[in-house]
Chains A and B, each alone.
Chain A
């Protein structure tokens, strides 16, 4: 019997989380042909990270030895759009928007890895140019690639849930405003 390295269990955990998620079937088919193998931990983490958000781009800066990941997706675009509508409706700033602070906190919590060699950021503000995205920077001594897909999935689920909440809240707003206007008009007429 062969004694196993602990990365075997990390690969098993990653596979379980990935196959239970709502990633496209193509992703599951592609990852499905990989063997359950303790040595595939790093490569599988990289491969799976590509599939969580619809548009994922990965750059390697040879000079600085840093990998940069851009995660963008229609659900992130939708979140930013809905946030903008919500801020206009409520007359609040981006900083005062509780949905923005929730997603920022979710990103912080889920980009919390057992390595020191990484950083992250997000471009979700209206003031920032370019496509809205989440950024992850990993250095030479980043050893937690297998944990990245799980973190990304949690962030994705948070976006989906917040989008639903925002939509519901905005629907509520649009439903109440016309009713109150009608009532006011009716009162005027009645007077």
Chain B
């Protein structure tokens, strides 16, 4: 397999600077104060949660957001693995003086 590094780097620079998964419809309290801190290894006591900041119905969209985020993370991991596993090949002609 051959990888066009120039094209890859162009695609990266063209990509919009935005979250990998849309947070639309996700309760911001649950996202910022619960899910992301927990995923980053913070511990949260049940008594410290502000239960008035969300409804039971907000939990399902949060779970869906998490699944999409995990899926995006999986795809990125696959790409890094592919790049990692490519053996470097020397250029046939000298590219510098």
Q: Is the CB of A28 within 8 A of B45?
A: no
CA distance in complex: A36, B40 (Å): 13
Q: A12-B34, A16-B51, A17-B56 are in contact. Are A4 and B66 (CB under 8 A)?
A: yes
B64 smallest CB distance to A (angstroms):
10
A182 within 8 A of B: no
Q: Which residue of B lies closest to A20 (CB)?
A: B51
CA distance in complex: A150, B7 (Å): 54
Interface hits, B8-53 → A, CB 8 Å: 30, 34, 38-41, 43-47, 49, 51
B41 smallest CB distance to A (angstroms):
7
A1 within 8 A of B: yes
Q: Which listed residue, A13, A20, A33, touches B45 by the CB 8 Å rule?
A: A33
B residues near A (Cβ < 8 Å) are: 30, 34, 38-41, 43-47, 49, 51, 54, 56, 59-60, 62-63, 66, 70, 73
A residues near B (Cβ < 8 Å) are: 1-4, 6, 8-9, 12-13, 15-17, 19-20, 28-29, 31-37
Q: List 29 A-B contacts (CB under 8 A).
A: A1-B39, A2-B38, A2-B41, A4-B38, A4-B66, A9-B59, A9-B63, A12-B59, A12-B62, A13-B56, A13-B59, A15-B46, A15-B51, A16-B59, A17-B56, A19-B46, A28-B47, A29-B47, A31-B46, A32-B45, A34-B46, A35-B43, A35-B45, A36-B34, A36-B38, A36-B43, A36-B45, A36-B46, A37-B43
Closest 6 pairs between A and B when the two form their complex, measured CB to CB: A32-B47, A9-B63, A36-B44, A1-B39, A19-B51, A15-B46
